[in-house]
Structure formats: structure tokens, C-alpha cells
A = this chain, B = another copy of it.
Amino acid sequence: MDSAVARERALDAAEELFYGRGIQAVGMDDVRGASGVSLKRLYQLFPAKEQLVEAYLERRDGRWRGRLAAYVEREQDPGARVLAVFDWLERWFGEEGFRGCAWINSYGELGATSERVAAQVRAHKRAFADYLTSLVTAAGHPAALAGPLFLLAEGAMVTAGITGSTRPAAQAREAARSLLAAR
């Protein structure tokens, strides 16, 4: 098996397991079992579990923001694009196997022990906040409105994760609409 393929398979398995069960609850042997990539190969690709975790978060970050952007950019109107973020959240929350925000969960689990994981989480959240800011200003709103919208989105993610409901997305969207209209 090609190295690049093995890497993808390992990351596919790691993502499913880490996200679904939590990072510490998943052993390297579980990743091997689910991916079909031998332990030897796993350790060639990722010298330690922490690096596999980092790679998992990094790859997921790219995909997550890519999916969000792809959905948002189907809207032509800049004002609608801001609200489309919350529509996308609602879809995401409703997906089979949704278990909250991977970065918030990882931070709760490893933020205190792994500086590299903490840095990944901060980078992801900063990137999301920056993206929101760009949408808000593109729609002609003051950039200061992006902060509250970010908090609404984060609150919705956490709450949807804990309660298993998609409703927080709609609530957040409605509140965002109200904030944008209040000027």
C-alpha cells in the first residue's frame, strides 16, 4: 500500500474514532484495526499518537472550513451569506454521528495537557472567527458584529452537542438576524 494512501486511511479511521469516542478512549491498536494500516506503518507516518491527533485536527479543520465555505458561497447576496453560516450549522448538527465540535471536545480533553492540541484548537477557532468577520464586513456590517455572531455559533455547537438537538442553530440564526438588523 502506498504511503500516501496509508496516511489517508489512517486519518480516516482516526477521525471517525477520535471524534466518535474521544481521543483518550481510542488506542493506537483501534486505529490499526479500523484502518488496516499496521502499527509499524502508523508509527512511521506519525512518530507518536500526539502527532496523529494533530494531523487529525488539522485535516479536519481544512475540510470543515471548506464545507462551510462551499455552502455559504452558494449564496450570492453578501447579507444572506452571513446567515447561511447558521443554516449550514443546522445541517451539520443534523448529520448522523454528530457529537459536537471536535475542537471544543478535544480542548476539553487535552487542552490542559497538550500544548500542541491547544494550539490547533486556538488556530481553528481564530480561522473561523476571521472567516465570520470577512462575511460580516463584506455585507457592509461593522466588523464588531462578528464577535457576537461567533459567540452564538459557538454556543450553538456546544449546546447541540450536549443536547443532540439541531434547534440551537435556528435559535442562533434568528438571534443573528436580529443583531444584524438592530444596527
Contact = CB atoms under 8 A, between A and B. Distances in A.
Nearest to A175: B148
Contacts of A125: 159, 162-163
Contacts of A122: 162-163
Interface size class of A (residues with CB under 8 A): 35 or more
B152 A152 contact: yes
A78 interface: no
A68 B81 CA distance: 37
Interface of A: 20-22, 24-25, 99-100, 104-113, 118, 121-122, 125, 147-148, 150-156, 158-159, 161-163, 168, 171-172, 174-175, 178-179, 181-182
Contact of A108 (B107, B152, B154, B175): B107
A150 B158 contact: no
Contact of A112 (B20, B118, B121, B154): B20
A99 to B, nearest CB: 6
Contacts of A179: 175, 178-179, 182
B112 A109 contact: no
A122 to B, nearest CB: 6
A100 to B, nearest CB: 7
Contact of A159 (B111, B151, B182): B151
A155 B150 contact: yes
A171 B151 contact: yes
Contact of A158 (B22, B99, B104, B174): B104
Contacts of A20: 112
Contacts of A108: 22, 100, 104-109
B109 A100 contact: no
Given A152-B155, A158-B158, 13 more contacts: A22-B110, A100-B111, A104-B158, A104-B162, A105-B111, A125-B163, A148-B152, A148-B171, A148-B174, A151-B172, A154-B158, A154-B159, A182-B182
